Structure 1
Amino acid sequence: MQTDIHPDNVLVALLAAGGRPAKLKNLKLVHEACRRQNERNSRDFSFRTISKYTEEQGGVAYRSMYNTPEYGKLIEAWQAYAGPADPTPRARKQTPVAQSFLARIEDPAVRSIMEGVIIERDKLRGENNVLRSLPRGIIDKRPLGATIAFPEEASPVAVVNVGARLTESERQALKKAIDAEFLADNGWVEGPHGEILNERGRTLFDVGFASAVRKVLED
């Protein structure tokens, strides 16, 4: 927001309030730094920029300037007097086809909306082209432990090694399930065909159970 109140009047009021000689001197230095910025048509009245000049002149440093309200009031007066910076519109490159299309739209509001749509489309198109230019990666989705087999006159296939997919705890659990000592402790026994029987001879695990577990562990 711009104001017609000249910062000279603000400086006069601050000096009239009195204070230590060093502070009054620094107010004048801050005022001079802001005046120089305004003459350059610069809208940079930040504490960092103004303190560079005052420090070069042996005056107030950045931290003291930031912590002293009077300096801030004077700088704010210059900011309000100078007004906001003129917006610099970004150049928008458009194809002749897009320019021709927009030129046929008479309503300014609709034309502005469509211009934004075209800019967003061109942006997405550019991002898509960048992604297409990147090297393509290959994601291996084969199951853990799978190997590649090459059968004759056929495409390569993944062969899953069941044993290779077991974790160490799973492997130890299967070993214990058919361990003779473990079976004996529970009153069980392995039958002649791999079945597991209890102390009464009843089948707990069907024929082939123990042999199937061994095959998995040996795989």
Structure 2
Amino acid sequence: MNVDVDAILDTLKDGKTAKTKASLDKLHETLSAYFDSGARDFSITTIGRVSEEDGGVGYQSIRATANKHYRDLVEAWAAKAKTTTKKPPVGPPKRMSQDHQLLERIDDAAVRALFGQIIRERDRYRSEANMLKNQTQMVIDKRPTTYSEPQSDASVELLPSLKGICSDNEIKALHTVCTDEWLEKLGFQANKLGQVKDEFGMEILPRGFLTGLKKILREIDE
């Protein structure tokens, strides 16, 4: 686009004071030299610094609300340079990705828009997956969900108290059976294994009977 900056300058000077016209001419001269140098940073910050160094209006004067004519002149020169008054990005421009290069080859606008949406969705899911990989620590709980009691070869059976089952007379009778006097009266003999035999050596009560009975009675007495 061919921009006639001289014509724009004349329009901006129309109705202005002599001092403002002189400032516009000086800024116009500075912008012309800046343009010819090949520079393309026409941001207000940069032009304000360059203009002030050249003896013209500075950044504060150009950006002042009442001095729109200065900014209009800078914008005219920026348009002539095919740029804007925004600060250009620092560093080399980003290369177009391969996906977007492929999109540019699709002539049908509807198909191009559809594939563009698919690519954006893919990139979003990929970004979320990478975020989860970097920020989430996964803990796998290998503990059993149900508790099972450990198996043991020996089983323990709890017996109810005899005090709630036997009467006092019955408990007294059991004590009597365990006494040597009662056994001798019947002609029986008991050995250390808890076995009871008659006078002929015949087994009356098996091994462990008396010893087991005495243990039970001790539990009752405690």
Q: TM-score w.r.t. structure 1 length?
A: 0.44
